[in-house]
Amino acid sequence: MARVVSIHSFRGGTGKSNITANLAALLALRGERVGVIDTDIQSPGIHILFGMDEEHIDKTLNDYLWGQCSIEDTAYDVGERLGRNALDAVGGAIYLIPSSLRAGEITRILREGYDVGTLNEGFRDLIRELNLDYLLIDTHPGLNEETLLSIAISDCLVIVLRPDQQDFQGTAVTVDVARRLDVPQILLVVNKALSSYDLDALRNQVESTYECPVAAVLPLSEEVAALQSADLAVIRLPDHPFSKGVKAVVQAIEAAEQE
């Protein structure tokens, strides 16, 4: 049975998409068949991390939601980015379902909305058609109906937050809502922590505030920031504290599966 993992943050700019892409890459390199779906329809961006440019994107999640194609028509094999040989050796695979980057299509979906039920069916079909072990959902910030659906169907919710007051407040709301939906596993990831922080103290404080495990505290890093927009840290900088932190998140997700 496939596991659904939603990656959410209350506000934008937390590095959510970056973490999602790196998590997906690590899972695929461990032999899992992984789908990554970009439901951040208002401001899509995860495709860049997998080296896809706009011109090579034909069908998108938007087309599926408008009933213009099937969900598997919108899935792109992005395994090249991870090294085809490395993936084949372990039997892993990685697919990306991007959102439309066309301004007109973004406005249209915001104006007209779409059927949340269709999105749910799409998730299910995708898992079946691509024979996925993991479906990672890069959610839209905030808690609109589509995001609530993604959280509700998730076996694991990863909440990404920065160490600042607004994110602390928003995370409290998300944790409460996820508990009401009985999400089996909730993990917190603190991103963009200044290197001068006492990271252990920060971890303890966040864990006791939300009564929720912190899977990783990821440092704010110029090196990673330089890559972020165009490449995967876990591939380019595997020994960097950021990449090691992402690995810890993968281990926390896998540990729950084995229980």
Partner 1 sequence: MKDFAALIRNLLSDEAILRDLPAVRERFEDGETIFERGDPGEDLYIVEAGQVRIFTVDEEGRELTLNTLAPGEVFGELALLDSRPRSASAVAVGPTVLRRIDRGHLLSLIRSSPELAASLYDLLAQRTRHMTDYIERLGHWARLVAEGRYDEAMQGLQAEGEISDRALAAVADAVRTMVQAVREREEQLRREVAQLRIEIDEVKRRKSVAEITDTEYFRDLARRARELRKRM
> By the criterion CB under 8 A, which residues form the site for partner 1?
1-2, 4, 120, 123-124, 127, 135, 143, 145, 148-149, 152-155, 163-165, 168-169, 172-173, 176-177, 180-184, 194, 196-198, 201-202, 205-206, 209
Closer CB to partner 1, 35 or 44, in the complex: 35
HSE-up of residue 178 (Cα within 13 Å, Cβ side): 30
Alpha helices by DSSP H, 159-210: 165-180, 199-210
Position 82, amino acid: L
CB 82 within 8 A of CB 29: yes
Cβ 31 to partner 1 shortest distance, Å: 21
Closer CB to partner 1, 81 or 203, in the complex: 203
Closer CB to partner 1, 60 or 150, in the complex: 150
Cβ 152 to partner 1 shortest distance, Å: 4
Cβ 203 to partner 1 shortest distance, Å: 11
Burial 172-193 (b: 16+ CB within 10 A, else e): eebbebbeeeebebbbbbbbbb
Cβ 119 to partner 1 shortest distance, Å: 12
Angle separating helix axes 199-210 and 165-180, nearest 10 degrees: 40
Cβ 92 to partner 1 shortest distance, Å: 20
Backbone torsions φ then ψ of 135, nearest 5 degrees: -115, 120
Closer CB to partner 1, 52 or 127, in the complex: 127
Closer CB to partner 1, 72 or 105, in the complex: 72
Question: DSSP assignment, residue 67?
Answer: T
